[in-house]
Homo-oligomer: A and B are copies of this chain.
Amino acid sequence: MSRGLFIGRFQPFHNGHYNAIKDILKMEDEVIICVASSQLSYTISNPFSSGERIEMILRSIKEMRDRVIILSTPNIESNSLWVENIIDTFPSFDKVYTNNTLVRLLWEKRGYKVSEVKFHQKNDFNGTLIRELISLDKKWENLVPVETRKYIQEIGGEKRIKDIVKIEEKLRDGAV
């Protein structure tokens, strides 16, 4: 049995991620989806908690659930310990799927095989873009799986992103 590891922040989970998982499952028996930066939420780049991100993924990949394992991992300042922590706390896997050159470097150094993920319509299916569209009240709903869209709306995710963007735009003093 073969298993791939697919690492992302999923802020939010979008169609690019969804298609990548389907592609990986053509080559592997199972895929572990690793929700990175798990300690972060309510920030510009990481508006959703890892609990919420896992929920999005669970609801959006239902038909593949028997071949998908979803886990999360926090940022660790040392890149070497970040890699090792995943090895220690995740079930074993044979290959890492990523397009991030740093992630590739780190896993290859540790002796793992690394493959590119083919991202379809990379310009559209892009977390940064989607957060920006939401903050500007523009159309974003078609860029994510329908279950993810519903969930984001259910938890008031659009308002949260707009609020956080406004915070960054203001001068702040005297708090946190």
Q: In the assembled complex, how far is the CB of residue A71 from the closest CB belonging to chain B, in whole angstroms?
A: 7
Q: Does A36 touch B at the CB level, under 8 Å? A: yes
Instruction: Decide if B174 touches A8 in the complex (CB within 8 Å).
Output: yes
Closest B residue, CB atoms, query A159: B105
Among A42, A71, A175, find the residue whose CB has the most chain B CB atoms closer than 10 A. Answer: A175
A52 CB contacts on chain B under 8 angstroms: 91
Residue ID in chain B nearest A166 by CB atoms: B101
Q: Nearest Cβ in chain B — how far from A110, in angstroms?
A: 9
Closest to A93 in B: B51
Q: Is the CB of B79 within 8 A of A42?
A: yes
A100–B174 alpha-carbon span in the complex (Å): 8
Q: Which residue of B lies closest to A88 (CB)?
A: B80
User: Is A77 in contact with B40, judged by CB distance below 8 angstroms?
Assistant: yes
Contacts of A119 in B (CB 8 A): 174
Out of B36, B91, B102, B103, name the residue touching A51 (CB < 8 Å).
Answer: B91
Q: Which of A60-90 contact B (CB under 8 A)?
A: 65-66, 69-72, 75, 77-82, 84-85, 87-90
